[in-house]
Amino acid sequence: MSTETVTIASLGAEGDGIAHTASGTVYVPFALPGEVAAIARVRNHGTIMSLSVASPDRREPPCRHFGPDAEGGACGGCSLQHYADAPYRAFKRALVADALKAKGLDTEVGALIPARPGERRRTVFTLRRTEKDMLLGFNQAGSHHIIAIAECPIAAPGIVARLADIRAIAASLATGPDPFRVTVLETSTGLDLGFEGIRKAGDRERRAMTQTVLKLRGIARVSLDGEILIEPVKPLIDFGGIPVVPPPAGFTQATRPAEDAMAELVLGHLSKAKKVADLFAGAGTFALRLARRTRVHAVEGDGKALAALDHAARNTQGLKPVTVEKRDLFRRPLMTSELKAYDGLVFDPPRAGAEAQVKELVRSGISRVAAVSCNPLTLARDLKLLTDGGYRINSVTPIDQFLWSTHVETVALLSK
């Protein structure tokens, strides 16, 4: 380890400050552009010891668990709490704009739709039993060390207020010192807790958990590795006024405002379509909303998510016909001949993007396409394929669903 003074030139894609030195590039967490910092350096990683010049864009982080001076270590859940709102939002927008430019796409990127504290309805915590207590928190960046949290400004207040109850339920199930996870989803009927990775949870632990949950209020469901252990009430989330029971620990958009913003863009673009294909449909984020206006064919590889979508569609009056298909779109994309049945399409793939599907899509006659993505790099790749195949990008809108992180959602709307 060595010590040196560096000037931060820019922020990297992971939110670290970047300094260029005679011996190579150094990445410095919690540093901002323009700052001059004394750092302790190990290879290409620097830790701030002191700042001789601080950025005017630096602000006091709102959370006690953030930053190099956090008691007990820095929580790895956020990386940019110390950045003022305006430059932070410009940085998020630039992640999308730079990815598009790197693919030769000279497209205007709209203003970032911002996120606000307290909106996160879905949070994944790491837990571990110790001799004295049950740790609940987030892993420190780059390590397996759990930073126990007492607050989380990005999470919904309804989750933060129940941290002690979540720890109590976890303690009743845990069987040893190994770490495990819980996905906490705030639903309209209570918290949905999906535990994963608890080894050898037997009848005794399950009985203890049941007794613990029955003493509490506001817990809708508890599951372990996808198995429902107790369900005092069905957990319900709302897709445009349509209630859906999500699968245990299943994927949902992290915040309701971001989901609504994405849906508004998608529905507006596909409003005149007579039949829409929703690919990577999940539990119905777009498909169910679209079905109020048009026929929808929803395709998804996760059988439990697809079953939730199908059940909601069948039990909601006033919808246009919704058909579902379980299919791995990475291995078996819808072929051009199959796509000819549709005049509108939306796809919202995982971070890997939808390259194989897009290659089929460009040969189709579908006139309007909405591309939703949580990864600007794979989105840019997919948009390049589409524009090379005759599509025009109408708009690109970045949406900040993951506050104070380097992750950003994007909705791109295209026409043939």
**DSSP per-residue letters across 152-213:** -TTB-HHHHTTHHHHHHHHHHH--SSS-EEEEEEEETTEEEEEEE--TT--HHHHHHHHHHH
Tokens (6 digits) for 251: 């994927």
Q: Report the mean per-residue pLDDT for the chain.
A: 95
Are 176 and 211 part of one and the same domain? Answer: yes
- Name the pLDDT band for 3 (thresholds 50, 70, 90): confident
Are 284 and 387 part of one and the same domain? Answer: yes
Residues 331, 359: Cα–Cα separation, whole Å: 13
On the question of pLDDT at 142 being above 80, the answer is no
Q: Which of 378, 331, 333 is nearest to 351 (CA)?
A: 378
On the question of pLDDT at 59 being above 80, the answer is yes
Q: How do residues 85-133 score in pLDDT, each as one tens digit?
A: 999 999 999 999 999 999 999 999 999 999 999 999 999 999 999 988 8
Q: How do residues 191-219 score in pLDDT, each as one tens digit?
A: 999 999 998 888 999 999 999 999 999 99
Are 145 and 197 part of one and the same domain? Answer: yes
Are 96 and 151 part of one and the same domain? Answer: no
pLDDT of residue 73: 79
Number of domains in the chain: 3
On the question of pLDDT at 5 being above 80, the answer is yes
Residue 211 lies in a domain: yes
Q: How do residues 336-393 score in pLDDT, each as one tens digit?
A: 999 999 999 999 999 999 999 999 999 998 999 999 999 999 999 999 999 999 999 9
Contacts of 94 (CB under 8 A, 6+ apart): none
Are 325 and 409 part of one and the same domain? Answer: yes
Residues 256, 258: Cα–Cα separation, whole Å: 6
Where residue 45 sits, what CATH number does that domain have? 2.40.50.140
- 175-180 contacts, C-beta under 8 A, 24 or more apart: 175/199, 175/200, 175/201, 175/202, 175/205, 176/129, 176/200, 177/128, 177/129, 177/130, 178/128, 179/126, 179/127, 179/128, 179/144, 179/146, 180/126, 180/127, 180/128
Residue 284 lies in a domain: yes
Q: Residues marked as binding?
A: 253, 280, 300, 348
Are 197 and 335 part of one and the same domain? Answer: no
Helix H or strand E segment including 295: strand 295-300
Q: Which of 75, 78, 152, 374 is catalytic?
A: 374
Are 179 and 262 part of one and the same domain? Answer: no
pLDDT of residue 132: 86
Residue 235 lies in a domain: no
Where residue 375 sits, what CATH number does that domain have? 3.40.50.150
- Name the pLDDT band for 414 (thresholds 50, 70, 90): very high
Are 314 and 334 part of one and the same domain? Answer: yes
Q: Residues marked as binding for S-adenosyl-L-methionine?
A: 253, 280, 300, 348
* Total residue length of the chain: 416
pLDDT of residue 72: 74
pLDDT of residue 68: 84
Which domain covers residue 11, as residue numbers?
Answer: 2-58
Are 149 and 272 part of one and the same domain? Answer: no
pLDDT of residue 144: 85
Are 127 and 222 part of one and the same domain? Answer: yes
Q: Which of 175, 155, 151, 177 is nearest to 164 (CA)?
A: 151
Contacts of 324 (CB under 8 A, 6+ apart): 281, 297, 298, 299, 300, 306, 309, 310, 313
Are 289 and 336 part of one and the same domain? Answer: yes
Are 105 and 28 part of one and the same domain? Answer: no
On the question of pLDDT at 284 being above 80, the answer is yes
Q: Which amino acid is at 344?
A: G
Residue 273 lies in a domain: yes
Q: Give yes or no: 78 in active site.
A: no
Q: What is the mean pLDDT of residues 391-405?
A: 97
Q: Which of 133, 132, 196, 121 is nearest to 162 (CA)?
A: 121
